[in-house]
Amino acid sequence: MIRIRPLFCINPSRALVSASRSGTRGYAISVQAPRKWPGKTEDRVFDERKTYLYNQFTSLLKRSTHEPLLFLRHKNFKVSGMIKLRREIAATSLPKKAHFSLMDAPPAAEELPQLTVIRSSIFGVALRHYAPIDESTTAQIAKLAGGGGLAVLSLPSLDPPALQAVLRALERSIPKKKSEEDKKGKDKGGDDHVPGRKAKRQKPILNPELVLLGAFIEGRVFGVENVVSVAKLPTLDTLRAQIVGLLSSPAVQLAAVLGEASGGKLARTLEGFKKGLEGDSPKADEVSTP
């Protein structure tokens, strides 16, 4: 006889753990139009949770015109690890001061990088319905971020030094993987098995992983190498100053040449030519002698 365990007998803590694990689903992002069934004229109705996520992802895409979006692949992250990651990312935008006081106003939420865990199926729908992005760009983003646990990191503005600081924070947040020799040295007596005694059960060690997939900056899709190249650029103010210097350098050089050729320098130049010609001409007595 098969007995079914009632739902109210399930441990609440286990139910919460299973719900949290099943909530992070990693499917490929589909940007294709939904299938139309014959005889069905009404649109599909979503629940409140899916509608909220759809509006959140649509707002995220709207801000991409002035806020760069970094696509990240996360795996084996616990809640504590995700909180630490968010703190490391937010610390990159805080002002560097020697001393802080209670009078210092905290920065607004819009001025800090925001990490959003993405549900890929609903993100694909928001990506398909977002009109300013064409089909080719939509397909590139879907191919870039498809499959696995996905997260999107939005930056307040395009600032290459700030982007470089965020990339360094992402590298610091991931602990280094231990080699097999270190594990064996730490667990020297773990492999000793006593006959007739049940082997001790060991939990598998899950190392968190975080991989940069690419970015969506000002309507263009960038790969990992291009994102690193953008992070190495100087600030926008420095780039503007360099462009102004390049445009104004020919005019400055022309003004310098005209300044050197005018006024006293021109008179001294002609006087030098005159003396040179007088020195090269033969003397009068030498010409008169037979």
| Residue ranges of domains in the chain | 48-93+109-174+206-233, 240-277
Round to whole Å and give the CA distance between 137 and 221: 7
Of 39-48, 56-65, 88-97, 100-109, the poorest mean pLDDT is in: 100-109
The CATH class of 48-93+109-174+206-233 is alpha beta
Task: Using alpha carbons, list the distances in angstroms from residue 129 to 122, 135, 144, 151, 274.
Answer: 11, 10, 18, 20, 82
The answer to whether residues 112 and 92 touch, using CB atoms and an 8 Å cutoff, is: no
Round to whole Å and give the CA distance between 130 and 209: 30
pLDDT one-digit tens code per residue, 151-189: 899 998 888 888 898 898 888 877 666 654 455 555 544
* Cβ partners under 8 Å of residue 6, min gap 6: none
pTM for the full predicted model: 0.63
SS3 category, 212: strand
